[in-house]
Amino acid sequence: MDDLKYQVDLLTALNERLMKSEKMYRRIAECSGTLFMYFDLKSSPAKVDLVGPWDDMVGEKIANHPYDESYMLNLLLDEDQDEFRIHMLELEREGLESGSCEVRSRNKRYWLSCFAKVTYDDEHRPIEKIISIKDITKIKMNSEELEYLAFYDSLTGVYNRNYFVRKFRDMCELADSEETSVEIMFVDIDDFKKINDSIGLLFGDELVQEFGQYLKDFNSDDILVGRFGSDVFVIAVYNPCGQRSADVVYRKIKERLRHPFVLTNKTELMFTVSCGVAEYPDAGRTALEVIKNAEIVLYKAKERGKNGIQYFELEILNKFINNISVEKQLKEAIETNGFQLYYQPQYYASDGKLRGAEVLLRWPDPEGDGFITSPDEFIPIAEKNGAIVPIGNFVLKEALKTFNDWRTKYHIPMILSVNISAVSLEKENFVDTVSHALSLYGVSPEVLELEITESVFINNFEDVIDKIKTLRGLGIRVSLDDFGTGFSSLSYLRQIPIDTIKIDRSFIETAVKDDSSGIIYESVIEMSKKLGFETVAEGVETREQFNYLREKKIDIIQGFLLGRPISKVEFEKLLIRQMP
Ligand code: C2E
Ligand code: CA
Ligand code: CA
């Protein structure tokens, strides 16, 4: 009897321990956030046990449902059920030990990672199977977002740079094998910086977004659209028909741009775009080279006045490469004081007396006795990258220093004309720089003449007029150079406060040849005199031109006929000859 009681007590104790540990494992399973399905495969039909927070996941009391192998399937999205079936339910039939898959729940709210493990007996009969199911929605969402970020531009939804380049490369490879070509087009909003400044960055972004979404619709099997930078879009066209394909895209874009883009704040905006187009393999050996070259011709389109399309030309590329090398050399020349000044004499037409000299910049080649390149080539480059400002300061100082030397040595009265770039004149401290240079060498302002061109008035007419007035107020003379080459209208001459007008050399060539040009030249001289300006004829090369000008009562003559630009040493010889 005691024995029996002992046996019962022992069983009770064992049972309690078992229940306790089962409770513990269930609790642990629930806390893990993972769902478990336990299949006892020895019984038939298999006994299924669910452990873990199933109620939370399914959203209803699990115990109310009868469940078996297919229970789990019913929880899944129809199109993902096969995936689950193959990886999970059929494990034992295939005799495999484990498998896993990622599937979506029926309500699409969850991404589930399912892992199954089967245990076999000695004869390789399955005895139990455990499926564990984890909610991986968050991880999945993050990686989807990452994937999106990896391929697409988040603002506009077109391809981002990396992905576009990859796809473009693939297109080029395919083009090689199919013996065709791929065209790439850079599309860039004109004056986007100005637009941004006027409407603010946020609305600027919105505009890019709207435009990008419009461009996105060009995407097709043969066309890729991407964004490379703030307002720079790229469009690749596979197997284009010559320039026609890019032309068609360009014309469609232009058509769209005839109507304004409307922003959320109801602002209506119109803008234009510039396009650069290059074709693989014609415009480069590699995909990247073609992309780079399309960008280079885009800049050319901008240079040509925007709102236009520019196709790749070898000449543009060569000029670009040359400019880069000039730019690099310019930098070195500034650092090593590699420039030199030449002086071209100017004479009064009436009595042939020396009026003064125009200072002209020269860039001697340190390795030879020629010049690296002419100012007509390097000055526009220096203006574009801002190098003209230090260069211009050097010219001004050097010229005034030389002038001071000559004045003390030769006592010949003369006027020194210095060319001033619009870029320098626009600098806030320009007036100070000039007056500082004058006082540095004790030169009086009346002998300095600054030569400006009409281009200085393009950007901010009022500001420039104010600056010129200040300069003239100090006693400095101002001369309008190259008159007749820009938008030159005689009526606007009345509005600008200048002392001298230099009539461009292209005028004199024709003035002596045909009557109508002669009439224009004459009326320019007459009008200038009436407005009180001194007149200078530039580029006088022949005796015939000289006589003509004298007859028309021009004030001053400058040109190869009377003297070419010469070095400081040569000009000193000229001054000595002038001495009484
Ligand atoms: P520019 O101001 O119109 O200078 C006159 C140009 O005409 C000079 O060319 C001069 O050598 C040339 N020239 C003078 N007489 C004759 C002639 O009878 N026939 C012909 N065919 N040409 C003549 P250069 O020195 O090559 O300068 C070219 C341009 O570069 C200048 O045109 C000016 O715009 C710019 N430049 C030169 N030096 C400077 C400078 O120090 N600063 C700035 N900002 N620009 C400069
Ligand atoms: Ca000049
Ligand atoms: Ca000139």
**For residue 152, what are the CA distances in angstroms to 157, 169, 203, 204, 391?**
6, 17, 21, 19, 45
Q: Is 392 in the pocket of ligand 1 (CB under 6 A)?
A: yes
Q: Which of 525, 532, 527, 580 is nearest to 556 (CA)?
A: 525
SS (H, E, C) 251-299: HHHHHHHCCCEECCCCCEECCCEEEEEEEECCCCCCHHHHHHHHHHHHH
Lowest mean pLDDT segment, chosen from 19-23, 406-410, 447-451:
19-23
- How big is the CA angle at 64 (ends 63 and 67), to the nearest 5 degrees? 70
Q: Is 481 in the pocket of ligand 1 (CB under 6 A)?
A: yes
Q: Which ligand is nearest to the CA of 344?
A: 1
Decide if 103 contacts 77 (C-beta within 8 A). Answer: yes
Place of tokens 């030569």: 451
Task: Quote the pLDDT of residue 63.
Answer: 60
**Would you say residue 443 has pLDDT above 90?**
yes
**What is the rounded CA–CA span in Å between residue 420 and residue 389?**
9
Q: Which ligand is nearest to the CA of 539?
A: 1
Specify the DSSP class assigned to residue 48. Answer: E
**Would you say residue 67 has pLDDT above 70?**
no
Which residues lie below 8 Å from residue 106, measured CB to CB, with a gap of 6+? 74, 75, 76, 77, 78
Domain ranges in the chain are 23-140, 152-312, 346-360+388-578
Q: What CATH number belongs to 346-360+388-578?
A: 3.20.20.450
Q: What is the CA radius of gyration of the chain?
A: 42
Atom 45 of ligand 1: nearest residue by CA position: 419
For residue 430, count CB atoms less than 10 angstroms from its CB and return exposed for 0-12, middle for 13-18, buried for 19 or more: buried
**What is the rounded CA–CA span in Å between residue 476 and residue 445?**
5
Share in percent of the chain as helix, strand, coil (round to 5):
50, 20, 30
Task: Quote the pLDDT of residue 324.
Answer: 93
Q: Is 456 in the pocket of ligand 1 (CB under 6 A)?
A: no
User: Among residues of the chain, what percentage have pLDDT more than 70?
Assistant: 97
| pLDDT tens digits for range 174-226 | 999 999 999 999 999 999 999 999 999 899 999 999 999 999 999 999 999 99
Give the 3-state secondary structure of residue 51: strand
**What is the rounded CA–CA span in Å between residue 328 and residue 307?**
30
Decide if 262 contacts 268 (C-beta within 8 A). Answer: yes
Task: Quote the pLDDT of residue 498.
Answer: 96
> Which of 342, 347, 360 has most ligand 1 atoms within 8 Å of CB, for mutation?
360
Task: Quote the pLDDT of residue 487.
Answer: 66
Which residues lie below 8 Å from residue 370, measured CB to CB, with a gap of 6+? 364
Specify the DSSP class assigned to residue 487. Answer: S
Phi, psi of 416 (to 5 degrees): -105, 120
The ligand 1 atom nearest the CA atom of 360: 38
For ligand 1, the distance from its centroid to the CA atom of residue 362, given in whole angstroms, is 10
| pLDDT tens digits for range 453-509 | 998 988 788 999 999 999 999 999 999 999 988 766 667 788 899 999 999 999 898
Task: Quote the pLDDT of residue 335.
Answer: 94
For ligand 1, the distance from its centroid to the CA atom of residue 502, given in whole angstroms, is 12
For ligand 1, the distance from its centroid to the CA atom of residue 53, given in whole angstroms, is 88
Mean pLDDT, the chain, integer: 91
**Would you say residue 436 has pLDDT above 80?**
yes
**How many Å from the N-terminal Cα to the C-terminal Cα in the chain?**
154
Task: Quote the pLDDT of residue 408.
Answer: 93
Cα within 13 Å of Cα(76), Cβ side: 23
Specify the DSSP class assigned to residue 450. Answer: E
Give the mean model confidence (pLDDT) for residues 394-401: 97
For ligand 3, the distance from its centroid to the CA atom of residue 190, given in whole angstroms, is 31
Decide if 353 contacts 327 (C-beta within 8 A). Answer: no
CATH T-level fold of 23-140: Beta-Lactamase (3.30.450)
**Would you say residue 579 has pLDDT above 90?**
no
Whether pTM exceeds 0.85: no
**What is the rounded CA–CA span in Å between residue 402 and residue 255?**
59
Task: Quote the pLDDT of residue 255.
Answer: 97
Report every protein residue that has its C-beta within 5 angstroms of ion ligand 2.
419, 451, 481
SS (H, E, C) 385-422: HCCHHHHHHHHHHHHHHHHHHHHHHHCCCCEEEEECCH
* pLDDT grade for 74, boundaries at 50, 70 and 90: confident
**What is the rounded CA–CA span in Å between residue 508 and residue 493?**
20
| pLDDT tens digits for range 262-308 | 999 999 999 999 999 999 999 999 999 999 999 999 999 999 999 99
Specify the DSSP class assigned to residue 575. Answer: H
> Which of 389, 419, 483 has most ligand 1 atoms within 8 Å of CB, for mutation?
419
Atom 4 of ligand 1: nearest residue by CA position: 360
Give the mean model confidence (pLDDT) for residues 22-48: 84
Which residues lie below 8 Å from residue 534, measured CB to CB, with a gap of 6+? 499, 500, 501, 555, 556
Q: Which of 287, 278, 250, 275 is nearest to 167 (CA)?
A: 287
Q: Is 375 in the pocket of ligand 1 (CB under 6 A)?
A: yes
Give the mean model confidence (pLDDT) for residues 418-436: 96
Measured in whole angstroms, the distance separating CA 429 from the mean position of its chain's CA atoms is 29
Give the mean model confidence (pLDDT) for residues 440-459: 93
Lowest mean pLDDT segment, chosen from 76-90, 150-164, 215-229, 554-568:
76-90
**For residue 557, what are the CA distances in angstroms to 132, 305, 341?**
98, 35, 21
**Would you say residue 233 has pLDDT above 90?**
yes
H/E stretch holding 545 reads helix 543-551
Task: Quote the pLDDT of residue 60.
Answer: 62
For ligand 3, the distance from its centroid to the CA atom of residue 535, given in whole angstroms, is 12
CATH T-level fold of 152-312: Alpha-Beta Plaits (3.30.70)
| pLDDT tens digits for range 139-151 | 888 888 888 888 9
H/E stretch holding 118 reads strand 111-120
- Structure tokens, 514: 């045909």
**What is the rounded CA–CA span in Å between residue 225 and residue 161?**
10
Amino acid identity for residue 318 in this structure: N
Task: Quote the pLDDT of residue 492.
Answer: 77
Q: Which of 282, 286, 288 is nearest to 312 (CA)?
A: 282
For ligand 1, the distance from its centroid to the CA atom of residue 299, given in whole angstroms, is 27
Atom 10 of ligand 1: nearest residue by CA position: 565
